[in-house]
């Protein structure tokens, strides 16, 4: 097996080979770990780290294939052949060209993998790609009818007016006409639902309600059947109102996304291109007042960005060379040129939209139970009602269909039993509460990735938190650069920038941003290797260079003595750099979030134990303990040790919620009972593994999410008690013939309305 490494820089090349196109995609897609292609046929597999949006990744790889000129049956690409340069993309296959990704050749298969830590492949999940067709960018709520409840409410009102009029008019014929109008208006949408379900061979509560209303009319009880349809249509309108409000709250988070963008070519000419065609590396001109169409990095000019729709921060954020901008945010006052970091369908905006759509489709555990229960229960009630008809008719000698003033018929009692025993309120009790909770959270930047997270978060007993980017702001800045002996500060700065520009860690982002702003020249590195929990090692001019912890420097370059003095200032982090001849230290400043101590105290008052898991040294951790008063801190942990801590607590019977934002937090987020990611600037790996995403990066929303989850669980339990209690009480009375159909209708449909209104308290309430 042979290995070559290549630079991802493709600017100015007229065409690209298949392997190069995929390699560029790999570098630009943090959640994509590796791609395997066969030289004998169109067989492609991709590897991801844990749970991901596979459809989006497949689409990105497909786009890369479409961009390549060598997508053919034999995959004519030099990177897939034993030796030689690639004439299509002009990549020399030499060991010196090492940046970005590796190409491993094993027989007929070639694997293109990102440069990562040695432990990452253990967590990779492989899958073959199916045939993929291009997909358009998704817009929030574009396929949803937010006002579906309005015509349903209108027909319910017409039905109600007709029912009241029918009871007030003195003429029996006019009353009958009013009740017929009530039937037509009240059953209009229910008939559509029943027809659609019957085509799927499904019988549900809509069928039961229509059957009871029809049966009531058949025995002359038009008034009671009309009341049933009025209350049933009203509860249906309220249910769709709750769903519509959910969609409207979500859609209000976003402004209309731009459809085109101004591209700047290599010769500085400008042209309009569709946002869908933007790829990583595309240079764009963004004028004042325009929205940033994709996630990008500022390469020229200065401005400020309004990020309030994505981060909740109303204050404009200054942007200059090296800063990143997010899709969907507004450029306020200056013209800037940016390089796209990823395609439009992989932007922060699209990511959030997909998270919300996932949340609406993924059901809570109790909802899945009621779905299974409701279907079988409906058939059971129909069967039991049929049996009771014959029991009342043949066993108790009641009239079959004709009621008298003293005795109700067997059929009348059967209709009453069908109404009170149907699971209408039960079916609505959980999804209405879950949807309302998801909408309330989305409006405040708390994105639940499904109903399960809404319920499970309330079960948590321990909250484990990462430090950098979670308890701290994560906005690290380079404070000072030192060399020992003095005089080599520029070299230390260059080495650090050259090593860190391929990493996504907050420390690396700060050093990379510092290097870009100061236009620091990058040095040529080879044999790049990430040492999990320790740092980075590479080769430069036949010398080994390392960056990371002090212990790593002392281990690799034992002949060099690191100075003993350490920074004792709160909020300071250190990165050590050595090239074997000199050693240096880069000090970075990070501030603890202003509300961190208050949030920790409030979590404690909620009965939750707090635990900080950090890779920082113990002295820094102890200072953090004093400032924010967490219950426990475990310091100097590698990502594997963080994961093992979560697993040990889980094995001991604890329900752990993990809060983090980095790539190294992703395994712990996945292993925890509930994972919460800081979503605004969190890594893609963390967002993919989290069950809850805090869109605004506000730590206080962790507390809000817990309180919302507990309120939602309480309301779900209240709804279940109301719905099941009503069914049990009314069903017992109906079996004994103690209630008329009108009372059964009022009790059953009244409980349904109460359940929906109770759920809506989540949407309009406060935590």
pLDDT in tens, 649-674: 999 999 999 998 766 777 888 888 89
Residue 248: Cβ within 10 Å count: 15
Annotated active-site residue in 24, 63, 345, 466: 466
Q: Residue 78 pLDDT > 50, yes or no?
A: no
The three-state DSSP-derived secondary structure of 81-105 is CCCCCECCCCECCCCCCCCCEEEEE
Taken in order of first residue, the domains within the chain and their CATH numbers are 2-128 (no CATH), 149-249+363-434+710-764 (no CATH), 260-347 (2.70.150.10), 446-473+594-697 (3.40.50.1000), 477-589 (3.40.1110.10)
pLDDT category of residue 43 using cuts at 50, 70 and 90: low
Share of the chain above pLDDT 70, in %: 73
CA pair distance 437, 37, nearest whole angstrom: 44
> In this predicted structure, what is the pLDDT of residue 55?
61
Most confident of 30-34, 183-187, 688-692: 183-187
Q: How far is CA 416 from CA 73, 516, 517, in A?
A: 68, 75, 76
The pTM assigned to this predicted structure is 0.64
| Mean pLDDT along residues 603-615 | 89
| Mean pLDDT along residues 493-497 | 87
| Mean pLDDT along residues 37-60 | 66
Rounded CA Rg of the chain? 32
pLDDT category of residue 711 using cuts at 50, 70 and 90: very high
Please indicate whether residue 466 is annotated as part of the active site.
yes
Q: Residue 158 pLDDT > 90, yes or no?
A: yes
> In this predicted structure, what is the pLDDT of residue 95?
33
The angle at the Cα of 254, spanning 252 to 257, to the nearest 5 degrees, equals 140
More confident: 519 or 722: 722
Q: Residue 13 pLDDT > 50, yes or no?
A: no
Q: Residue 346 pLDDT > 60, yes or no?
A: yes
Handedness of CA 456, 459, 464, 466 (dihedral sign): positive
> In this predicted structure, what is the pLDDT of residue 709?
92
- Check if the beta carbon of residue 476 is closer than 8 Å to that of residue 589: yes
Average pLDDT value for the chain:
76
Q: Residue 184 pLDDT > 90, yes or no?
A: yes
CA pair distance 449, 751, nearest whole angstrom: 29
Q: Comparing 2-6, 52-56, 194-198, 342-346, which segment has the lowest mean pLDDT?
A: 2-6
CA pair distance 671, 646, nearest whole angstrom: 7
CA pair distance 324, 295, nearest whole angstrom: 7
> In this predicted structure, what is the pLDDT of residue 155?
92
Percent helix, strand and coil across the chain, each rounded to 5?
A: 50, 20, 35
Q: Which helix (H) or strand (E) holds 194?
A: helix 172-199
Strands (DSSP E) along 20-114, which ranges? 32-38, 41-49, 101-106, 109-114
Contacts of 87 (CB under 8 A, 6+ apart): 78
CA pair distance 369, 367, nearest whole angstrom: 5
- Check if the beta carbon of residue 159 is closer than 8 Å to that of residue 230: yes
Q: Which helix (H) or strand (E) holds 675?
A: strand 674-678
pLDDT tens digits, one per residue of 357-390: 655 555 445 555 555 555 677 778 888 888 999 9
Torsion of CA 660, 666, 672, 674, to 10 degrees: 60
């Amino acid at each position: 097996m042979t290995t070559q490494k290549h630079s991802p820089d493709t600017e100015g090349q007229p065409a690209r080979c298949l392997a190069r196109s995929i390699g560029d995609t790999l570098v630009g897609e943090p959640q994509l770990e590796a791609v395997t292609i066969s030289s004998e046929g169109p067989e492609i597999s991709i590897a991801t780290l844990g749970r991901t949006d596979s459809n989006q990744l497949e689409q990105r790889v497909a786009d890369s294939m479409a961009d390549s000129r060598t997508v053919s049956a034999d995959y004519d690409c030099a990177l897939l052949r034993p030796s030689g340069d690639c004439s299509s993309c002009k990549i020399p296959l030499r060991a010196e060209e090492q940046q970005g990704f590796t190409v491993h050749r094993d027989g007929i298969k070639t694997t293109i993998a990102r440069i990562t830590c040695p432990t990452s492949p253990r967590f990779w999940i492989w899958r073959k790609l199916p045939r993929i067709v291009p997909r358009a960018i998704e817009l929030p709520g574009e396929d949803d009818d937010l006002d579906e409840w309005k015509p349903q409410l209108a027909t319910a009102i017409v039905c109600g007016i007709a029912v009241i009029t029918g009871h007030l008019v003195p003429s029996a014929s006019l009353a009958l006409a009013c009740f017929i109008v009530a039937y037509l208006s009240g059953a209009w949408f229910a008939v559509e639902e029943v027809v659609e379900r019957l085509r799927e061979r499904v019988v549900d509560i809509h069928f039961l309600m229509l059957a009871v209303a029809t049966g009531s009319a058949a025995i002359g009880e038009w008034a009671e059947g009309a009341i049933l349809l009025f209350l049933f249509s009203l509860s249906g309108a309220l249910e769709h109102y709750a769903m519509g409000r959910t969609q409207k709250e979500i859609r209000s988070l976003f402004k209309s996304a731009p459809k085109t963008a101004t591209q700047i070519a290599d010769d500085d000419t400008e042209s309009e291109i569709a946002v869908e065609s933007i790829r990583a590396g595309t240079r764009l001109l963004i004028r004042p007042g325009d929205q940033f169409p994709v996630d990008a990095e500022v390469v020229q000019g200065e401005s400020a960005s309004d990020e309030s729709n994505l981060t909740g921060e109303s204050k404009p954020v200054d942007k200059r060379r090296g800063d990143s901008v997010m899709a969907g945010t507004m450029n306020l006052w200056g013209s800037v040129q940016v390089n796209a970091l990823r395609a439009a369908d992989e932007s922060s905006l699209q990511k959030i939209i997909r998270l919300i759509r996932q949340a609406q489709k993924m059901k809570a555990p109790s909802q899945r139970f009621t779905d299974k229960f409701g279907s079988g229960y409906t058939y059971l009630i129909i069967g039991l009602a049929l049996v009771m008809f014959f029991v009342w008719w043949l066993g108790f000698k009641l009239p079959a269909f004709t009621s008298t003033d003293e005795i109700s018929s067997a059929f009348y009692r059967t209709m009453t039993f069908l109404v009170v025993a149907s699971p209408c309120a039960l079916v609505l009790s959980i999804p209405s509460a879950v949807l309302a909770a998801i909408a309330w959270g989305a409006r405040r930047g708390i994105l639940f990735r499904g109903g399960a997270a809404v319920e499970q978060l309330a079960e948590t007993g321990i909250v484990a938190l990462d430090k950098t980017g979670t308890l701290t702001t994560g906005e690290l800045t380079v404070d000072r650069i030192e060399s020992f002996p003095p005089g080599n500060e520029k070299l230390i700065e260059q080495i650090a920038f050259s090593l860190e520009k391929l990493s996504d860690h907050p420390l690396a982002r700060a050093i990379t941003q510092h290097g870009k702003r100061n236009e620091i020249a990058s040095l040529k590195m080879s044999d790049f290797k990430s040492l999990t929990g320790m740092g980075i090692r590479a080769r430069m001019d036949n010398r080994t260079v390392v960056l990371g912890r002090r212990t790593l420097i002392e281990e690799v370059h034992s002949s060099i003595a690191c100075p003993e003095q350490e920074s004792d200032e709160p909020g300071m982090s250190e990165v050590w750099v050595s090239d074997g001849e000199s050693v240096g230290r880069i000090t970075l400043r990070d501030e603890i979030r202003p509300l961190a101590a208050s949030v920790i105290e409030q979590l404690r008052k909620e009965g939750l134990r707090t635990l900080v898991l950090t890779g920082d040294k113990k002295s820094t951790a102890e200072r953090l303990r004093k400032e924010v008063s967490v219950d426990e801190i475990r310091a100097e942990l590698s990502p594997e040790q963080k994961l093992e801590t979560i697993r040990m607590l889980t094995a001991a019977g604890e329900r752990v919620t993990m809060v983090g934002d980095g790539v190294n937090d992703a395994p712990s987020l996945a292993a925890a009972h509930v994972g919460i990611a800081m979503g605004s600037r969190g890594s893609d790996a963390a967002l993919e593994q989290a069950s809850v995403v805090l869109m605004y990066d506000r730590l206080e929303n962790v507390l809000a999410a817990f309180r919302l989850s507990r309120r939602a669980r309480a309301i779900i339990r209240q709804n279940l008690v109301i719905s099941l209690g009503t069914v049990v009480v009314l069903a017992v009375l109906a079996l004994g013939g103690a209630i008329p159909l009108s009372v059964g209708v009022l009790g059953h449909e009244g409980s349904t309305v109460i359940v929906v209104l109770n759920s809506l308290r989540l949407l309009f309430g406060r935590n």
